[in-house]
Amino acid sequence: MKNAKTVFECAECGASASKWFGKCQVCGAWNSAVEVEKELEKAEKTAKVKRIAPVYENDVVKFSEYEVGDTARETTGMSELDRVLGGGLVSSSVVLLAGEPGIGKSTLLLQICKTLASEGRKVLYVSGEESRDQIKLRAKRLEGVESAESLYLLTDTNVASITEKADKLSPDIMIIDSIQTVYSESVSSAPGSIAQVRECALSFISKAKNEGISIILVGHVNKEGGIAGPKVLEHMVDAVLYFEGEKIRSYRMIRAIKNRYGSTNEIGLFEMTDSGLTEVPNPSEMLLSDRREGVSGSCAVCVMEGTRPVIAEIQALVTSTAFPAPRRTSNGVDYNRACLLIAVLEKRLGFKFYTNDVYLNVIGGLRLDEPASDLAVTLALISGIRDVPVESGLIAIGEVGLSGEVRAVTEVEKRISEASRLGFTKILVPHRNMAKLNTEKYPGVEIIPVRSIYEALPYIK
């Protein structure tokens, strides 16, 4: 291309520079410089700028007089996914579903086509990664997908030709699998590069906004676990969902990291089976299914995942160290939080963790980022170092402060209800939470208020 000057762009934040850089001046990322065509920059600045907002929405309106219509939401047929989306797929929204290869993105999207392509709604599934045969063979394993009435398939990677074919079909919902495989002829770099991803995403977004089509884009994840392509992609779409899980185990989790139409706290749980993904509506039961009572270094913990209480097991293995500096590893608990709680136990209760290695693990790949799980972590640690199990049927709820005090937590009633539903009989709760608690509501459950970790010690026998 003539006169095409190269500029460099940061793959993480999209900041541009005229020279190559080792470290991005804007976001501080290393080795994130990528070449992009000056061409595209020019095109964007001049006439070819694409609209994202619908064309009919460019009048000034008085805010108080403006009325919104009901946001139409369509159920995807998977209530776990609907929950993460905030109640269903919003019409004319663009959702980015990101995840590692093989995690099940294509499977999930094909499965939701069954419900989406019913009641006269047309769904167009565009694949740039697999052949028609492959997709059809996969659909044979998934119940009801093969015979979905108004599901259409297109294997194409050229954005102009995809748009043209979509215009003819005029679908209600489009799925692009994946955004990294589509390319636009107006950009000369390879598919998957920053300029390509941005250009293609922009044309899909403007299509969604102008024509009222809901679009789901599949995004790849790079080595570091971020979405491959520019960070700006995340700003452009309405919702960003991460599909994650351990590939060796069959559980999969969807979490929203951005959602313009709902909360980002919700998670959706699935299990990969021989016939596709099945929902896990009761995560606590799943997470506790392999639990053995009477083993030291283990305590049940209750965290709020959005509006839903989830009970998991936290395990602490404490072994005497062979290293000059003891090892601490933590899986599912924030590392610094774990070190802090260990320090509190050393200082306030005199436990000698400095001569021990500590390995912390939360079962099922759950992440405890709520302080309400502190008390359970400390009980698991004490039980681990003493090698004595916590009492059977016990669960601990509470935040631990630096002087060893147990602090109040939010939504304690929801947590207690879930714990009693799952058969826990002794629930340690922060003393401050007791005032507002109606303990008679939970027959057969002993609710034990604790002011500090000292008061919780007798429950490790």
Chain contacts with ligand TYD (rule: CB under 6 A): 99, 101-107, 138, 141, 272, 274-276
* Residue 217 contacts residue 179 (beta carbons within 8 Å): yes
The SS3 call for residue 211 is: helix
CB of 394 closer than 8 Å to CB of 426: yes
Q: To the nearest whole angstrom, how small is the minimum distance from the Cβ of residue 355 to ligand TYD?
A: 44
275 binds, among Mg ion, ligand TYD, none (CB under 5 to 8 A by kind): ligand TYD
Smallest separation (angstroms) from Mg ion to the CB of 171? 20
Residue 202: CB minimum distance to Mg ion, A: 23
Which of ligand TYD, Mg ion, none has residue 414 at its interface (CB below 5 to 8 Å by kind)?
none
> How many residues in the shown chain lie near Mg ion by CB under 5 A?
1
Residue number, nearest CB to Mg ion: 106
Cα–Cα distances in Å, from 152 out to 116, 166, 207, 366, 371?
Answer: 12, 10, 18, 37, 47
Are the C-beta atoms of residues 13 and 26 closer than 8 Å to each other? yes
Residue 85 beta carbon to ligand TYD: minimum distance, rounded to whole angstroms: 18
Q: At CA 203, angle to CA 201 and CA 209, rounded to 5?
A: 100
How many other CB atoms are found less than 10 A from the CB of residue 266?
A: 20
Classify strands 394-396 and 426-430 as parallel, antiparallel or unpaired.
parallel
Which of 102/458 has CB closer to ligand TYD?
Answer: 102
Looking at beta carbons only, is 272 or 372 nearer to ligand TYD? 272
Instruction: Give the number of residues written for the chain.
Output: 461
Q: Under rule CB under 5 A, which residues in 365-424 are in contact with Mg ion? A: none
Interface map 56-95 toward Mg ion (x if CB under 5 A): ----------------------------------------
Q: Which residues does 293 contact at the CB level (< 8 Å), separation at least 6?
A: 389, 392, 393
- Cβ closest to ligand TYD, residue 175 vs residue 382: 175
Between 106 and 378, whose beta carbon lies closer to Mg ion? Answer: 106
Token pair belonging to 287: 């997470």
Q: With CB cut-offs between 5 and 8 Å by kind, which of ligand TYD, Mg ion, none does residue 274 bind?
A: ligand TYD
Residue 274: CB minimum distance to ligand TYD, A = 6
Which residue among 93, 106, 206, 373 contacts Mg ion (CB under 5 A)?
106
Q: Which stretch binds Mg ion (CB under 5 A): 10-18, 99-107, 249-257, 271-279?
A: 99-107
Contacts of 427 (CB under 8 A, 6+ apart): 394, 395, 396, 397, 416, 419, 420, 445, 446, 447, 448
107 binds Mg ion per the rule CB under 5 A: no
d(CA 402, CA 242): 34
Residue 423 contact, options ligand TYD, Mg ion, none, Cβ 5-8 Å cut-off depending on partner type: none
Question: Least CB distance from residue 136 to ligand TYD, whole Å?
Answer: 12
Pick between residue 32 and residue 106 the one whose CB is nearest to Mg ion: 106
In angstroms, give the least distance from the CB of 282 to ligand TYD. 21
Nearer residue to ligand TYD within complex by CB, 139 or 450: 139
Contacted entry of Mg ion, ligand TYD, none for residue 84, CB cut-off 5 to 8 Å set by kind: none
- Closest approach of Cβ 104 to Mg ion, in Å? 8
Beta carbon of residue 218, minimum distance to ligand TYD (angstroms, whole number): 7
How far CA 62 is from CA of 56, 67, 70, in Å, comes to 16, 10, 19
198 binds, among Mg ion, ligand TYD, none (CB under 5 to 8 A by kind): none
Are residues 314 and 301 in contact, defined by beta-carbon separation less than 8 angstroms? yes
Ramachandran angles phi, psi of 98, nearest 5°: -115, 150
* CA–CA dist 414, 424 (Å, integer): 14
Of the candidates 325, 313, 318, 309, which has an alpha carbon nearest to the alpha carbon of residue 341?
318
Which residues are near Mg ion by CB under 5 A?
106
